[in-house]
């Protein structure tokens, strides 16, 4: 029986990933795929604080320890849950004995399939600011568009202060719509959503560019890698 490993920084995110992975496995292989699969999960102690402080060395060590436990448990393939966790993915990939399925790589593949040249990347401020996600897109020859500092900070506040609780405020939705339309008028040809909370907005709007759900793409890539 094959085993799949999930490493997360947040319990809610971990539960959601496990639910989505099981659903994707069922889609790919039917009920028998679920019966043959074992999903093992680990929360990384103190990870949110380490991520917030930028102490990536300690975060890598904590994640590596979790992955080593999962390797000893016989896991065949693993994933870090969520975009922000991928801030340490490259370093972990070098030291993990379990293959890691990458969210940025999955998003890049989907953007390449669309022949996107100028995608907008949306997520938490760190996802939009740092290179661990957009570097994959730039490496494929794309010009990645991200919000200016003020808009990025606003998106971050909206994710944690509204959308994470399922709240959709009309004023926020209108500001987001105007922002997206302005980006597309300036040449954006795809919208990569790396924070699933933002789908509460994109799902309510008719946007002039295709929306790529990075988490859904990640889950699909993980399930496919597991089924190989």
pLDDT at 32: 74
Does the pLDDT at position 15 exceed 90? yes
Task: Please spell the DSSP secondary structure of 197-225, one letter per residue.
Answer: GGHHHHTTS--SS-EEEHHHHHHHHHHHH
Classify residue 35 by burial, with Cβ atoms within 10 Å: 0-12, 13-18, 19+. exposed
107 inside domain: no
Same domain, 88 and 148: no
CB 67, CB 7: distance < 8 Å: yes
- Average pLDDT of the chain is 94
Domain count of the fold of the chain:
2
pLDDT at 89: 96
Q: Please choose, from the candidates 220, 157, 159, the residue with its C-alpha nearest in 3D space to the C-alpha of residue 22.
A: 220
- Are 72 and 157 members of one domain? no
Helix, strand or coil, per DSSP, at residue 44: coil
Residue pair 13/84 in contact (Cβ under 8 Å)? The answer is no
The per-residue pLDDT for 1 is: 63
Question: Could you list the residue range(s) of the whole structural domain that residue 18 is in?
Answer: 2-102+216-227
Are 124 and 69 in a shared domain?
no
Residues 45 and 94 in one domain: yes
More confident: 212 or 29: 212
User: pLDDT at residue 28 above 90?
Assistant: no
Same domain membership, residue 48 and residue 12: yes
Distance CA 44, CA 130 (A): 21
16 and 83 together in one domain: yes
What pLDDT sits at residue 220? 96
Q: Is the pLDDT of residue 21 over 70?
A: yes
The verdict on residue 61 lying in a domain is yes
What is the pTM for the complete model shown? 0.94
We report the CATH number of the domain holding residue 196 as 3.40.50.1860
In-domain check, residue 128? yes
What's the CA gap between 159 and 154, in Å, rounded?
9
């Amino acid at each position: 029986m094959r085993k799949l490993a999930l490493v997360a920084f947040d319990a809610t995110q971990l539960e959601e990933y496990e639910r989505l992975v099981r659903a994707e496995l069922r889609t790919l292989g039917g009920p028998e795929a679920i019966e043959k699969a074992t999903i093992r999960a680990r929360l990384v102690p103190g990870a949110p604080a380490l991520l917030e402080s930028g102490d990536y060395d300690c975060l890598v060590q904590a994640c590596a320890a979790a992955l080593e436990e999962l390797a000893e448990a016989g896991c065949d393939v693993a994933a870090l849950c969520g975009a922000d966790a991928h801030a340490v993915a490259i370093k972990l990939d070098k030291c993990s004995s379990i293959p890691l399925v990458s969210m940025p790589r999955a998003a890049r593949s989907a953007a390449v399939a669309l022949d996107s040249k100028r995608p907008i990347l949306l997520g938490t401020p760190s996802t939009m600011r740092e290179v661990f996600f957009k570097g994959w897109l730039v490496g494929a020859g794309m010009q990645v568009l991200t919000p200016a500092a003020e808009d990025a900070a606003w998106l971050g506040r909206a994710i944690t202060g509204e959308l994470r609780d399922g709240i959709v405020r009309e004023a926020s939705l209108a500001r987001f719509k105007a922002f997206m339309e302005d980006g597309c008028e300036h040449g954006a040809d795809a919208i990569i959503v790396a924070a699933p909370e933002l789908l509460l907005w994109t799902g309510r709007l008719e946007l002039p560019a295709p929306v790529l759900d990075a988490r859904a793409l990640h889950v699909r890539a993980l399930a496919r890698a597991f089924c190989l």
